Structure 1
């Protein structure tokens, strides 16, 4: 890649090819690529279960739909605000975050974000492995008898399914971002076919839409609002890592218009449609089976038809591979490359990430909707302050201007004090306290329902105030900073 003049001098501990600005010829993702990437990410087992489980929390269909719509409108606003820096400068999250925390301090949010993404990989991969087990159970006689043998807290049949699905992930990421782009182009739309089939079944079994939408809510007015906000926070928590590392994708965009249109169609558009499918289908299971079944693999098994089970499970496998590679491998891969730029590239780091994910052992705690929303809320609360600080830094503090050369050297504008921006560390601490104050003080427990909102808001405000109080920083941003890598 031909390097810009301002990057002629760079520190090898802060730079390699995966962290470098994307060249013009590689900025070839158009709006369709971003639409299909998001389709691939939102059409997955965990997203289906998360939307469907709103009914198991006591909501009716209308309440669940409203919850999903509100969460996705908020999400796309946050995504757009944090996407533009990647599209403009062509650099990933681990590089952009240096402008906020300093080249050393940046490792803190990078490690937090990598930890969360790898955790999410484990959750998604385990969910998808259940579909692998369902297919093998149909194709191999006596497959489920292996469950009597135990390994790492699960039956041997589940352990083999987990191992096979992990290997599939390794295959997809083995050729870098171009394979991710190609895979996402067709994986997302395929899952819509499965979703439509389940919706048709729900309508038929319910004899029309009427019964689906007439199931009463089990929540009173006050109870509903408590569940509503913690559910919105949980749904946002599903994509909390993507809010931070969306520049990892938009850095390849042909233009700001491409990434904004593609994401606008792909995130709120297809996410809401897919959630509607999940909610309608789950509502149909209440009528058909007397209880909400929000696990799509369990639902497919209820039909007792091996062909339906195999085809449906394969679609779910593709869906889960799609979201896991895009959302939960790309981000920690770039994070690990940033930590060890001399030793790792994207593919090696991605493979390391999926190995680390095994240690989260999701098979020990996964099957509980209450636990899932609690975890999602914690994830959103932990990453909210960083998202607020990123948005504040680019749009308010620096007004869209970064010094490209300083991203890759230790004595540039982002050196701060020996590589640490104390203002950013204080702001992060304040934001985290705001996010989790409901857990720290029982009298304020209701505030935990709004953990992501508190985190992003307090992180945004405190960062702007602290940075504007720094006279040295004010002098720096008034300098004639290069705004292009051309």
Structure 2
């Protein structure tokens, strides 16, 4: 079969009579999506991103930035820079999903080969399941605290051995809610996100207006000057941008999982623009305003929204705020973690799973992670997730270089589902992608793992590690595939 020409605007679908496709690489849920089934508009994608950006981790991010010494306006600039950078990477990487209707786990085969793709797919699945577990357990703690404030007897519930029953009931309910939302495929998830994303923004806006009334203005936090200057401002600012990006770095890899449902490139671009940098730069000052109000009311800034609800002692507000926090956690988890991890598991076990079963498997694996055992040590958790995100940076660069520089936006869809096709490389592995990933990690990981001051330029490398990882991975991969002694598909 001749390579499909793209981007063209015509439907480049895989022929379902194609006998060359391997059952270990093909599943109806990861097959190319026909254009007539791509019904997401820019509103849909913007709502999905709104639901993901509005979460407790993003809310508390400003707290960490201000604690380092940044002013409120510098926090806004850092957030804007991080999300604009993410938008650019995701916009480019999402285009392939929208054009060809395939998820990340299939698209990555062009660069790494059908067997080599297992490595980035497995890494992405691990990141998604860990994030799912973290967000879900945080939501269960919020539900437990809210239930205790609304029903005093909740805290007195115990198992026969004396173990508090309330937290386990909260875990059960939160995991069950995730299963309910994720059941019946992507269309139920889409409908949930269309409500959840805007709802969280409306509630946050109302809370920000309440905060302005309490503070009689923007509040004391906006008046605190920066304590960082010169090189310290540059290095810490770069590290802060990289940290914010780290929350979503893995999604820069698998954005095709969502963009494959969008009807046009225009919808994809507008939806992500509104849902990412625009929403983030609106949401960040809301979190600072609300925290300013807590400084006025309680004499100290409180960045945890659950603690704020507990201190206000207002039952209707506690109920409304608690539901919003839980909806926000569900929103980011379903679209940001369950969907990509489900596709990743589908590509690893295509003959045993469909999308619904894969989603339930992700939820169950999140339980086996047992976050209650290590949740009190968040530095360890986020250090691990940060390293995994660093590993994904060169993969992002390789995907972009493969699609735009090596393939010139041309893909033969049928051969993405074959071990012996155009993208098979050497026995299913493409050494150029593996070598580019390995060499880039040799540059990124030592500065990140070794104690500060061990290596020259260590702080500068860490400050721009995500950008450096993308650029280095892309340059190395492109260089390997332009070697005059080899054809690109051999490497």
Q: TM-score, length-normalised on structure 1?
A: 0.91
Shift of residue 450 of structure 1? 2.5
Corresponding residue for 2:80?
69
Corresponding residue for 1:27?
38
What are the superposed Cα offsets for residues 384-422 of structure 1, whole Å, 9 maximum, x if unpaired?
Answer: 111011111111111101111110111111111100011
Contact 1:124/1:320, CA 8 A, preserved across alignment: yes
Shift of residue 374 of structure 1? 4.2
Greater shift, 220-229 or 104-113, is seen at 220-229
> Partners in 1 of 2:389 and 2:134 — Cα distance?
16
Shift of residue 290 of structure 1? 3.2
What are the superposed Cα offsets for residues 82-126 of structure 1, whole Å, 9 maximum, x if unpaired?
Answer: 010001110100100000111001000000000001111111111
> Partners in 2 of 1:308 and 1:333 — Cα distance?
35
In the alignment, structure 1 residue 292 sits paired with structure 2 residue 301: yes
> Partners in 2 of 1:82 and 1:451 — Cα distance?
19
Contact 1:134/1:313, CA 8 A, preserved across alignment: no
Alignment size in residue pairs: 475
In the alignment, structure 1 residue 454 sits paired with structure 2 residue 465: no
In the alignment, structure 1 residue 267 sits paired with structure 2 residue 281: no
Task: List alignment gaps of at least 5 residues for structure 1.
Answer: 478-486
In the alignment, structure 1 residue 102 sits paired with structure 2 residue 113: yes
Cα RMSD (Å)? 2.5
In the alignment, structure 1 residue 208 sits paired with structure 2 residue 222: no
Change over 3 Å in CA distance of 1:475–1:184 after alignment to 2: closer
Shift of residue 427 of structure 1? 0.7
Instruction: Work out which of the residue numbers 15, 23, 32 in structure 2 matches 1:12.
Output: 23
Change over 3 Å in CA distance of 1:219–1:144 after alignment to 2: farther
Shift of residue 225 of structure 1? 3.2
In the alignment, structure 1 residue 276 sits paired with structure 2 residue 285: yes
Task: List alignment gaps of at least 5 residues for structure 2.
Answer: 1-11
Shift of residue 379 of structure 1? 3.7
Contact 2:239/2:463, CA 8 A, preserved across alignment: yes
In the alignment, structure 1 residue 465 sits paired with structure 2 residue 482: no
Shift of residue 58 of structure 1? 3.0
Change over 3 Å in CA distance of 1:347–1:409 after alignment to 2: same
Greater shift, 413-422 or 438-447, is seen at 438-447
> Partners in 1 of 2:174 and 2:54 — Cα distance?
18
Greater shift, 408-417 or 158-167, is seen at 158-167
Q: TM-score, length-normalised on structure 2?
A: 0.90
Change over 3 Å in CA distance of 1:214–1:139 after alignment to 2: closer
Contact 1:235/1:376, CA 8 A, preserved across alignment: no
SS of match in other structure, 2:481:
helix
> Partners in 1 of 2:125 and 2:152 — Cα distance?
40
Q: Structure 1 runs of 4+ off > 4 angstroms? A: 146-151, 364-376, 474-477
Contact 2:212/2:218, CA 8 A, preserved across alignment: yes
Corresponding residue for 2:7?
none
Change over 3 Å in CA distance of 1:318–1:155 after alignment to 2: same
SS of match in other structure, 2:290:
helix
Change over 3 Å in CA distance of 1:227–1:472 after alignment to 2: same
In the alignment, structure 1 residue 425 sits paired with structure 2 residue 439: no
Structure with greater helix share of residues:
1
SS of match in other structure, 2:350:
coil
What are the superposed Cα offsets for residues 363-394 of structure 1, whole Å, 9 maximum, x if unpaired?
Answer: 45546786676456434312111101111111
Shift of residue 256 of structure 1? 0.8
Change over 3 Å in CA distance of 1:279–1:47 after alignment to 2: same
Contact 2:93/2:256, CA 8 A, preserved across alignment: yes
Instruction: Work out which of the residue numbers 446, 450, 469 in structure 2 matches 1:437.
Output: 446
Contact 2:127/2:385, CA 8 A, preserved across alignment: no
Change over 3 Å in CA distance of 1:449–1:366 after alignment to 2: farther
Shift of residue 173 of structure 1? 0.8
> Partners in 1 of 2:380 and 2:68 — Cα distance?
12
Corresponding residue for 2:58?
47
